[in-house]
Chain A
């Protein structure tokens, strides 16, 4: 009987507790699954792929090779960054020269500011890195011609080398802009069907410490990729080509920032003619990145590429076509006289820039390079010198008095000067032929004044206009040196408004 009151008491006590508890709570919280944080102690610092020792790489002898480094197009790199690369070149015997813009140093007479076309006359390879100023048509033409003659061209862009600036000085409207080197580089590479893509490549899944540092393991077969197994680039552009050969190719996880898509992107491409390389990274050439993976081996291959071109010189390379002291071979048409003295002096000055002496001889000497002047009725001595030029028929040897020049065909020699370059047994011979002494002087002055761009050039032969051709009444008809005053007198100046002449109608 006593239990009931006790139960009542307990019930009475618990009732409000239970009611309040159930009013607020439906149960006790317990996590449905284990709650854990990342294993921070097990995170790892990404390490670089091991590198190949530079000493294992066989290098070629590059004595006498001249490599030019472009510094004339607001290039976004420091020469010291290329120190290692240049050191290898110089250790191999190559000479490296920096090409500055004639306007950049403020001293147009500085040796560094020699115009590009003059530099290319004696260069074997040309390196362009991260340019931000576009190449002029003239520059492109010079470099294209340089490549056509066996010169090697290496063009490198780097998406990390961008020009940053403000669009305006007006605080309210200016904004930061970035301009990469792609546009400038592409202005040079267009003739070779190589185009740098804007943006950069990246790989989020496998990389060299950062998504923008891309590891490449797929290579095209080429001397530039021989022995490569892994290459790491640090901020890299890709190159598009239809006719060139991609030499390094990204895997399917290598994406372009332009599309965020994969597409076998190629950061190293060789042009169809084999003499131009487009490369999408500069950083891997610099320490310490040059020691990562097989980068050093790739650098060695690039150096091999630069120094192993077979540079062929032609007339446009004057005066660098000569390697030893030069003699002028006198002839009846061209001898040392008052009229020719100035011309000879001009030639001497042009050769002086190469420290080559000029002398006048009556007979060729094997120790001297030769410049021979004569008319289209040459002496027997000169005829011997013309023997290497098969297909050359002088006017006096043809029935109709025409001149036949290999590569140019048959033409009227009137007013035309011919330059012929040959190299035999290490001796260079340059022959200048015209109709007259005056024309020879004109032709020689064009040579001395480096005006061969006014001539038609076919490697070792040039045709230049040095006088008046048949069919012209006077030199004024050429419209080159003079103009005819009467042309203006004849022009019907009038205050009357100009009305177009109606098209005549034809009546059947």
Chain B
């Protein structure tokens, strides 16, 4: 006959067993689940021209996103007239690499011209505000001077100082343009509603026009870009973080790139001569 004490002991034994087989694994499971990170949508801001400093910053943020598993998607916020060819291509290639593992969505907030649009077509989805400026596909360069001999500067070749003959530079620009055009075709593909005869005119379009022409995917805002990134990355209850802060980068300093007037006005002209994927708007006032 089982006594009440036996029953109590049996219950204690059952509870002990339950504690051993359920509560402990549950606690461990809870602890273990905490190792599953809350997904992060990383924001990468480019509100500057593309040049060595800004490109290094962007590439550092892209690398951070690639190296950190909690960053599940990236939203690239663009407001840029483009910049140097080499830096643009470097960022573009990093974006392509990143997209193998994580989706990238672009939101154009003002302007994605030339090199900036080059970056945009390297992402999975492009959103723009209705009046943002998009496009300007093409290359711009100041032709080097004809070779001259200087009395007190000796060189070992006629193009040592200028770097390239004028005609060669034109043809090199054409080659850069071909790469840009291929990138656009790869990024936009069948979505494009216009052929190269219009696409390559170097025109800037408003966001609404760009949508009709297939240069972007939709009109929207930053929050919609974030939502779209979360959908592509198959995540929810995510957090949004500025990758610049996570990477520990300092604030950008645009004065490296553009010519500044003596009274502190930043012109749209780059300081150094060269070949650019850059939109340079017409200026009606110049330095004397």
Contacts and interface: CB of A to CB of B under 8 A. Distances in A.
A39 B186 CA distance: 11
B2 interface: no
B170 interface: yes
A204 B235 contact: no
Given A16-B30, A17-B32, A209-B174, A9 B25 contact: yes
Given A16-B32, A39-B182, A43-B179, A25 B21 contact: no
B32 A23 contact: no
Contact of B36 (A10, A24, A28, A37): A24
A45 B36 contact: no
A27 B234 contact: yes
A34 to B, nearest CB: 9
A366 interface: no
Contacts of A13: 25-26, 28-29, 32
Given A15-B26, A24-B238, A35-B100, A45 B17 contact: no
Interface in B234-286: 234-238, 283-286
Nearest to B197: A204
A483 interface: no
Interface in A1-48: 5-6, 8-17, 19-21, 23-29, 31, 35-40, 43-47
Contacts of A36: 96, 186
Interface string B96-128: 100111110000000000000000001000000
B235 A26 contact: yes
Interface of B, helix, strand, loop or mixed by DSSP: helix
A9 B24 CA distance: 8
A210 B173 contact: yes
Nearest to B238: A24
Nearest to A288: B167
Given A44-B178, A204-B200, A210-B171, 17 more contacts: A5-B20, A5-B21, A6-B21, A8-B25, A9-B22, A13-B25, A17-B33, A29-B102, A31-B103, A37-B93, A39-B182, A45-B171, A47-B171, A174-B285, A175-B285, A211-B200, A253-B197
A21 B196 contact: no
A260 interface: yes
B43 to A, nearest CB: 18
A43 B29 contact: no
A176 interface: yes
A289 to B, nearest CB: 8
A166 B232 CA distance: 53
Contacts of B11: none
B171 A209 contact: yes
Residue among A28, A35, A38, A46 with the highest chain B CB neighbour number at 10 A? A38
Interface in A205-220: 205, 209-211, 213
B192 interface: no
Contacts of A260: 201
Interface string B203-237: 00000000000000000000000000000111111
Interface of A: 5-6, 8-17, 19-21, 23-29, 31, 35-40, 43-47, 166, 171-172, 174-176, 204-205, 209-211, 213, 253, 260, 288
Contact of B29 (A17, A28, A205, A211): A17
Contacts of A14: 29
B177 to A, nearest CB: 9
A232 B115 CA distance: 30
Contacts of B283: 176
Given A5-B17, A37-B92, A45 B172 contact: yes
Contact of B183 (A9, A28, A38, A171): A38
Interface residues of B, number: 57
Given A14-B29, A16-B30, A171-B288, A26 B92 contact: no
A298 to B, nearest CB: 19
A19 B285 contact: no
Given A29-B101, A45-B171, A37 B183 contact: yes
Contacts of A174: 285-286
Contact of B22 (A12, A19, A37): A12
A24 B237 contact: yes
Contacts of A46: 171, 174-175
Contacts of A20: 33-34, 36
Contacts of A29: 72-73, 101-103, 232-234
Interface in B3-58: 17, 20-26, 28-30, 32-34, 36, 38-39
17 contacts: A8-B21, A13-B32, A14-B29, A24-B39, A24-B237, A27-B234, A29-B72, A36-B186, A37-B122, A39-B182, A45-B171, A174-B285, A175-B284, A204-B200, A210-B171, A211-B200, A213-B170
Interface string B143-158: 0000000000000000
A31 B167 CA distance: 42
Contacts of A15: 26, 29
A39 B174 CA distance: 15
B175 to A, nearest CB: 5
Nearest to A7: B21
Most chain A beta carbons < 10 A, residue from B232, B238, B285: B285
B33 to A, nearest CB: 4
B236 A209 contact: no
Nearest to A202: B201
Contact of A43 (B33, B178, B238): B178
The 9 closest A-B pairs by CB, nearest first: A38-B182, A5-B21, A13-B25, A12-B26, A13-B29, A12-B25, A20-B33, A27-B234, A175-B284
Contacts of A12: 21-26, 29
B236 to A, nearest CB: 6
A385 to B, nearest CB: 61
Interface in B56-102: 72-73, 89, 92-93, 96, 99-102
A295 to B, nearest CB: 14
Nearest to B89: A40
A91 B73 CA distance: 72
B18 to A, nearest CB: 8
A211 B200 CA distance: 10
B240 to A, nearest CB: 14
A36 B92 CA distance: 11
Nearest to B93: A37
Nearest to A39: B182
A19 to B, nearest CB: 7
A270 to B, nearest CB: 30
Contacts of B102: 29
Contact of A40 (B34, B39, B171, B179): B179
A26 B234 contact: yes
B22 A8 contact: yes
A9 B23 CA distance: 8
A253 B195 CA distance: 12
A11 B30 CA distance: 12
Nearest to A171: B288
A5 B14 CA distance: 11
Contact of A176 (B38, B186, B286): B286
B234 A28 contact: yes
